[in-house]
Structure 1
Amino acid sequence: MDKRTLIAVLLSILVLMIFQFMYTPSQAPVVSENKTAESTPNVNKEPEKIDLNIAQKSNEKSFKPDVFEVSTDYVSISFDKNSGDVYSAAILKYRNKDIGKVVFKDGEKNYLSIDNLNYDKVEYNLEKGKDNTIVNFNCFVGDVVITKSYRISNKKYLIDYYLKISNTGDKTVKLPLTITIGPDFGEGFEKSKYAFEGPIIFDGKKVYKERPDKVKKDVVVNKPLWIGYTTKYFLFSTATNFEKGFIKKYKDSAIVGGEINYILNPRETKQLKLALFTGPKEYKLLKSSGYKFEKSINFGIFSFLAIPMLLLLNMFYSFLHNYGVAIILLTIIIKIVTYPLTLKSMTSMKKMQLIQPEIQKIREKFKGDPQKMNAAMMELYKKYGVNPMGGCLPMLIQIPIFFALYKALLVSIELKGSPFFGWITDLSMKDPYYITPILMGITMFIQQKMTPQAGDPTQQKLFMFMPIIFTFLFLNFPSGLVIYWLTNNILTIIQQYFINKKTV
């Protein structure tokens, strides 16, 4: 293996080792130090009369939840009787799997709320139908009536949420609504250092996100499509025509919110529709919502490859009914597709190994004359038909494919709770007995021994540590990822065997 190939492999190792840290979100660039979610937005034309009684108020009352629940096969939503806001939201089922108790809640405030209004009176009623349940709240603030209507389907994670705002008085009213989510995850969510967890905003082009404990300045985003709170596998979000979105510090955590300004003339009514999603971050499910909630899944810089691979994996699962076997089949197909590149790379490295003695002679002969050394090297490469970059470039081309699949498996909720066989009962969790990582290390060692080695003894010693490094690196990785890498190693060993036999 020549020096360029060595550098490529070492860079690949370095990338893999830091890959888990690549997805820690950076500070969002749009920051406002003076404006918060509770500042009254400017409007082009002030109304002649403003009822100050319903302009923003400080919340003088301490929070005392009085809740009732509405449950379906998919979710259970707890509503606060005193405000008509969502106190908590539990996800009950994902593909008939036992996902445990997964609840978005805070405990000290409603999880989804309109924060800047105190109501004089709140009335509510339920309408239960065969396919859905409708929960209506009438919230009275002076001459303004805010009707909150939730249409909860028995067969969906998506809830239609309608706000109807009516000015029953004879004064023009300016009403700024601040809708917030958070400030915490809730309970039952497994922590992950490989995936972002926290408040998130999408404006149609870019995702803005901040870890709750890292928020120092308010993050402000113009006209977001949706706002939400995300964990590795689950999302709580709402989409509507927000004028502004924000992420700001709240106690020891953070909240995410959206603002909308209303000016209502006497006897005027306006209505707003929001889409409220509480559910698993399954790509196809999120995309089908029509609100681009799928942008909450971070597939990395190779998403254009990762998403098709995930869809292909799900297609295999549809008839194999085992994600472990589906991963193996997908790895085999990828190996077949990339075989021409692998063949070219391995053949080139084999040829480079065969001419190593002559390369060494040239280096010794022209030790003090780099120009003559390079010229002699090129003549040698030409004589044996060897491309010195032949072993490096095909390998570099395959790296995006491998990392795309790596990322797809890392963030895929489909693997959560999915067994393979025997002791591997959850492909999203690490191998409890570390059998597959150790086998992966052994196959990597075998693969290394079969791969043409560089003539430099120092380089060979350096490569001896690769299987050890990778084994320890993969010990706590999800077992689905380890199975992919183990399968890839086994297939590479088979390929290398036949290539070595062919080029002897």
Structure 2
Amino acid sequence: MSNDSSRLIAFIILSGIILFAYNLLFPVKPKQIQQTSEEKTAVTATQTLKSTPESLKITPLNKETKISNPEEKFYEIENDLVKIKFSTIGAVIKSYELKKYSDSKEENKKTNLELIPNKTSNTYMALYSQEFNINNDEWNYAGTEKNNENTKIIFKYNKIKGIEIIKEFILSNNSYLINLNIAFNNKTKNPVLLKDMQLSWGPNIHFLPADVNKYKDSFYQYNKICYPLKNNSIKQYQINLNAKQDKIVFIDILPDWVVLKDLYFMASFIFKNKNDIKNVFYKESAAGFTYLTANLKDIVLEPMSSDTIKIDSYIGPQEYKRLKKFKMEEIIDLGWFRFLGVWMFYAMDFLFKITKNYGWAIILLTLIVRLILWIPSQHSYKQMKDTQSKMKIINPRMETLKKIYKDDPQKLNEEMLKLYKEYKINPLGGCLPMLLQLPIFIALYQTLISMVELKGASFIWWLKDLSRPDPLYILPVFMGVTMIIQQKMSQTTTMSTGSMAQQNILMYGMPVFLTIMAFSWPSGLLLYWGMSNVLAIAQQIIVNKTK
């Protein structure tokens, strides 16, 4: 293989890695879901109902006097994972704290991670009605019940004459799942129709648009909407952080669930009975504010009867094993080679159970991956070493051919190929094993970026959070230095001055470029990359010592 061919192949492989990294850093926005003919401009958009008998309608006369300034009170429930604060205004969630996670970068100032980004709003798990102002009015706290399986908090609304609405939030032990039961009781002697009701979450999850630039890491993903299609694939819509106008998009199917998420955290509606809802839509407001809403079914209550709507919500981290129970694990982005990414996750989970530390789990997983790739890597290194030895022999003849055919590139290539064939040099001989390694590298790369389990996971004294960049830049520099050493060991020494200069640019320029980019990469990823380079160097030393 000629020096020019060696450089070209190396450049193609390394360029592929750079393009892959670039696509991760600056992903192309997913194609927006085509809006249906139902799309409207008001967040309270609902389907028009067929006319109903006048006797079934609740008239304004049935509403009691509106309270202008209702008193707001707060009540909390919690388990080992979350602490939830509720408000009596609208019976909504005011605070949702994750006990195992933190947004603070300072060890001595760590607090629970808050998933409600706008605490001044009464719009998280809010029940709306176009007929009654139930979301901005005071509900009665009806008590908290706790047993060995869950904790239940109950709110009641009795300000519609003869109608009682009850919201029950049931938090399971050791879980991020909330069961919401909304009961409607007709205490009158007449049939009643309740219509144009909605259940909503928003704006956003974890961060508001103004907070993103202050707190995001380099791989942070702004809010997305996800839901399953009938073919078991996942539809995703990336919310536009710089949206200039409001937009409402109806989901064109009745999904089993719908999710509002960022890179690590999510809120969801899980529909236990699809007959409880008419449709689902999301509102993308100007400047990136996002609301997720389900239009609830119309309820006809016979005299002295009741009906209940049941909707579950998983609100918390995107932990693979927990989401798998609800068939929502596909929302975690494990990249192009998802099946390998799933294997990587389970391997990481198994190694963490042994080591009790994700840093050591990453190192052990890197070692396992290098052992799996040992044979193809060994073949690649030996092929390259054999090629370099033969290149030293034919280099004088190559220089002669370049002088003879300097004005005829086509003839020069023909003579070069004859020379390769004579010495049994395969220009691509060492490349195939390297290409076979790329899917594993990409899968592990994407898994380490997407694992919420790494958030807040510490390793050694200066690495307090493997999901964040290295604060001292030790790992990026370590990765860059080991890349230079690795390329230096495989450098061909029998080159012309011009060729040597070009190879030096490639050898030093690429690691320096990636090192600068890596200053903002998660330290868990850099720990893997640096250790992988060290093991590759060790393998190359072994190959170089063999005859």
TM-score by length of 1: 0.87
1:317 maps to 352
Q: How much does 1:396 deviate?
A: 2.8
Q: Quote the sequence identity (%).
A: 29
Residue 465 of structure 2 corresponds to 426
Cα distance, 1:449 vs structure 2: 0.5
- Asked if residue 221 in structure 1 is aligned to residue 277 in structure 2, the reply is no
Query: What corresponds to 1:129 in structure 2?
Result: 146
SS in 1 for 2:430: coil
| C-alpha contact (below 8 Å) 2:205/2:223 kept by paired residues | yes
Contact 1:88-1:111 within 8 A present in 2 as well: no
Match of 1:346 in 2: 381
Aligned to 1:273: 310
Please, which moves more after superposition, 383-392 or 479-488?
Answer: 383-392
Question: Does structure 1 residue 3 correspond to structure 2 residue 8?
Answer: yes
Question: Which residue in the other structure is 1:335 paired with?
Answer: 370
Distance 1:179 1:88, change over 3 A: same
Check conservation: 2:144, 2:151, Cα contact below 8 A. Answer: yes
Q: Is the 8 A contact 2:390 2:425 kept in 1?
A: no
Aligned to 2:292: 256
Write the mapping of 1:322-401 to structure 2, written as runs, cut at 5 A. 322-356=357-391, 357=395, 358-367=397-406, 372-401=411-440
Q: Which residue, 312, 316, 322 being the options, matches 1:285?
A: 322
Supply the distance in 2 between the matched residues of 1:397 and 1:30 (Cα, whole angstroms): 41
The amino acid across from 1:177 in the alignment is M
Moved more, 402-411 or 144-153: 144-153
Q: 2:543 is matched by which residue type in structure 1?
A: I
Give the number of aligned pairs: 496
Letter paired with 1:115: Y
* Superposition map of 1:207-218 within 5 A: 207-211=235-239, 213-215=241-243, 216=245, 217-218=247-248
CA RMSD between the two structures: 3.3
Query: Quick check: 372-381 or 269-278, which moved more?
Result: 372-381
**Residues 366-418 of structure 1: CA distance to partner in whole angstroms, max 9, x if unpaired?**
45555554444444333333332233333333222212211211122222222
**Residues 142-153 of structure 1: pairs in structure 2 closer than 5 A:** 144-153=163-172
Asked if 1 retains the 8 angstrom alpha-carbon contact of 2:206 and 2:265, the reply is no
Query: Could you tell me how far apart the structure 1 residues matched to 2:52 and 2:400 are?
Result: 89
**Partner of residue 501, structure 1:** 545
Change (3 A) 1:53 1:38: farther
Query: Is 2:122 the partner of 1:109?
Result: yes
Q: Which residue of 1 aligns with 2:79?
A: 72
3-state secondary structure, aligned to 1:115: strand
CA–CA separation in structure 2 for the residues paired with 1:471 and 1:63: 57
The 3-state SS of whatever aligns with 2:487 is helix
Q: Is the 8 A contact 2:156 2:167 kept in 1?
A: yes
Identify which of 176, 180, 200 aligns with 2:196: 176
Contact persistence 1:47–1:174 (CA under 8 A) = no
Distance change >3 Å, CA 422–CA 46, structure 1 → 2: same
Given the superposition, is the C-alpha separation of residues 53 and 196 from structure 1 closer, same or farther in structure 2, using an over 3 Å criterion? Answer: farther
Residues 90-129 of structure 1 show CA distances to partners (whole Å, capped at 9, x for unaligned) of 222359x996232233212232212335238744322423
**Distance apart, 1:64 and its partner CA:** 6.9
Alpha-carbon displacement from aligned partner over 1:446-489 (angstroms, at most 9, x marks no partner): 10101144953353033121121122121222221111111111
Deviates more, 1:375-384 or 1:301-310: 375-384
Aligned to 2:219: 194
Aligned equivalents of 2:115, 2:69: Cα separation in 1: 21
* Structure 2 SS opposite 1:213: coil
- The match for 1:438 among 462, 466, 477 is 477
One-letter amino acid of the structure 2 residue matched with residue 86 of structure 1: I
> Residue 62 and residue 467 in structure 1: after superposition, are their counterparts in 2 closer, same or farther (change >3 A)?
farther
Identify the residue that residue 504 of structure 2 maps to in structure 1: 461
Shift of 1:200: 2.3
Instruction: Note if contact 2:194-2:299 (Cα within 8 Å) is conserved in structure 1.
Output: yes
Contact 2:101–2:112 at 8 Å: present in 1 too?
A: no
- Give the counterpart of 1:87 among 71, 74, 94: 94
2:21 counterpart of 1:16: yes
Any conservation in 1 of the 2:70–2:89 contact (CA below 8 Å)?
no
- Residue ranges of structure 1 left out of the alignment (5+ in a row): none
The match for 1:308 among 320, 343, 354 is 343
| Contact 1:17–1:473 (8 Å) recurs in 2 | no
Q: Structure 2 vs 1, CA of residues 11 and 72 (structure 1 numbering), >3 Å: closer, same or farther?
A: closer
8 Å contact from structure 1 (residues 282, 412) kept in 2: yes
CA 1:30 to 1:354, structure 2 compared with 1: closer, same or farther past 3 Å? farther
Gap regions ≥5 residues in structure 2? 1-5
What is the Cα deviation at residue 76 of structure 1? 1.7
**Quick check: 2:101–2:455 contact (8 Å CA) kept in 1?**
no
CA distance in 1, matches of 2:501, 2:156: 77
User: Secondary structure at the residue paired with 1:179?
Assistant: strand
Moved more, 131-140 or 120-129: 120-129
Match of 2:3 in 1: none
Equivalent position amino acid for 1:318 in 2: K
Within the candidate set 461, 474, 479, 2:518 is matched to 474
Once residues 195 and 45 of structure 2 are traced to their aligned partners in structure 1, the CA distance between those partners, rounded to angstroms, is: 12
Residue 483 (structure 1) aligned with residue 532 (structure 2): no
- Contact residue 247 and residue 255 of structure 1 kept, 8 A: yes
- After alignment, is 179-188 or 428-437 more displaced? 179-188
- The residue aligned with 2:268 is 237
> Counterparts of 2:153 and 2:446 in 1: how far apart (Å)?
40
Q: What CA distance in whole angstroms lies between the structure 2 residues aligned with 1:361 and 1:352?
A: 19
Greater displacement, 378-387 / 333-342: 378-387
Alignment partners' CA distance in 1, 2:373 and 2:260: 38
Q: 1:206 is matched with which residue?
A: 234
Distance 1:416 1:186, change over 3 A: closer
Contact 2:100 2:112 in 1 (8 A): no
How far the C-alpha of 1:27 sits from its partner, in A, is 3.1
Q: Distance in 2 between matches of 1:326 and 1:175?
A: 54
Q: 2:449 aligns with which of 403, 410, 414?
A: 410
SS at match of 1:331: helix
1:139 aligns with 2:157: yes
- Matches of 2:384 and 2:183, distance apart in 1: 70
Give the whole-Å Cα distance in 1 for the aligned partners of 2:475 and 2:162: 67
